[in-house]
Structure 1
Amino acid sequence: YLENLQVQSLGQHDRKLCFELLECLLDRYPEAVVAQGDHLVYGICEAIEGEKDPHCLMHAFHIVEVVAQTFPDPAGPVASFAEDLFDIIGRYFPIHYTHPKSEDVDVSRDDLSRALMLAFSASPFFEPLAVPLLLEKLSSDLPLAKIDSLKYLSYCTEIYGADRMAKHAEAIWNSLRAVIYNLSEEPLSSLASDLSNDKHFQGNAITDEALVLLQKLVSQQNNGFLNLVLEDEAVNGLINLITVSRNFQCSPSQQEQKLCAVGNVLSVVAKASTTSCTRVFETVLPRLLGSLGLGVSSNVLLEDAVDRKS
């Protein structure tokens, strides 16, 4: 029917029926629809493009998810139409959906956002398109866009896998650093003053989601992402402020914000794995002890820790 029916020219009820029929065919008879190949995927693109009704969108996002999983072949139709498919669903991110409380609507914004997230992550062919879009939206001034971007990135990190996400590691870390330190790629000299402006650094949802993503990436990519964090100029600059000078030349609250920022990063990195914990221990603790005049090597500290544990 995709060939003879202009779905978007129909009313809401009939569009919903069309989507339900297509959804049923994909869910229950995947072997039969596979033979349609390019024709099927192209028809889906035409059918869902421009859809605005929340009920229809729930079906449309699920259709994209299922059809993407139905054609995993790199030479298949989803690979060929990946850019077209993602261009259509990418326009809906982040979900902006409100309705009067008086309306009897049983689809929430969270429902739509989760359905869209599943569609984003449904195929590895979406990765080159999805990750840059999510990073772009992460720089938005809208808190909801930031939170959704981080949630989607966390989910896509698990689904796309280490090899695909490694290509974006540096860009992701740069964006995460900006979120966690509440700045936008400013010089290190301005870092201290900017951090003090975030009065809810520990508790805000944006930072929490950023730290969740950070831990997932370190766990997944091991030394690759870990090196980006531990060798980062901003991170080391903050550690140096702590270890080199005991006088921060700022108020106690500002000092606390700095310690909180670097502490959150190092804490989640250390929790990611035994390897990352050891690296953080070896990198940071000797410098902290050195600032107190206690010149103890990291090897001695590690041996002592092992002895105590045994």
Structure 2
Amino acid sequence: MLKEVQEVKVGGRTRRVHVRPFAWNLHAPTHMEWTPDGRLLVVERTTGKVKDVTKGGDMEEAKPFAWGLQGPSSMCPLPDGRILITEFWGGRIRDISVGGPSEKLAIYAEDLSKPYSLALDALGRLLVTEHLGHGVGRISILASGKAVPLVQGVPSVETPGFEGYTPPHAWPDRWEGFVAGCGKWGTDPKVFPDRPYVFAVSIGGLGLIVGVPEDGGHYEALAPEHTFARGLGWTGGMIAHPFDGMLYVTQPLQGEIRAINPRESRNYRFDPPVVSGIPMASCVRFTPDGEKMLVCSPQSGAIWQVEGFSD
């Protein structure tokens, strides 16, 4: 049950965290991003739409920014102002910068294998997660519209509870997937200051977060040396806070957000969550000033606003 005021521990300090709805009457909102011009866009997985929720409030009658997408999953704003989005069921990435119907939107890359997460790494390379089936995925660099593998052999597993957000033709064997860390990693010296990581990936059912070096490699070789958070529940999307140097990761099945310190490597099994009770929390972002956390909840059809979690 979601409590409006929660007492939690973050960074060794006890805080009173305040939670309230920011935007509601959405249809399975699973991912959101701030655009370079200051808009907050959110994906509605089941309707194939992207909506502008910058002002928050009741979204029941809100006109979509883009629509007709096949399994829209993850968005990524580029430095030049373009906004890209993955179509999980369409096997492609589109440029939705101008908005409108999908058939009129440019295709950035296609013939991908169930692309999900999309992000820039610390070197400015565009990365995408692909799901190859049979429990295996990979992280690829997108160069000139082509996917070049960076990390092979990443575990790719079904996320319990997300069955209703996939089309029936995908059942039972075509909907497994994993979610890599979202956002641009490693550019802030407070994040990975002593480690050569350009990216981080959360491994859903394993409860791990693994750092990815510039040259990548095979997951089985990377995980033993570069896993810096373990003992987590089923993990989803994550992002670095713009100021406090912590990573914040969703735990959809627990309805929680956890704070991870990337400057150390340890087990988080007994750490309390930053906030709890958010049904199927799938994506976390922050307001530009870093004072408010926004969390997508596809199960409740809402984006929740969290205050008081950080100094």
TM-score between both structures, scaled by the size of structure 1: 0.23
Structure label with greater radius of gyration: 1
TM-score between both structures, scaled by the size of structure 2: 0.23
Q: Return the structure number with greater strand share.
A: 2
Q: Return the structure number with greater helix share.
A: 1
Q: Which has the higher contact order (CA 8 A, sep 6+)?
A: 2
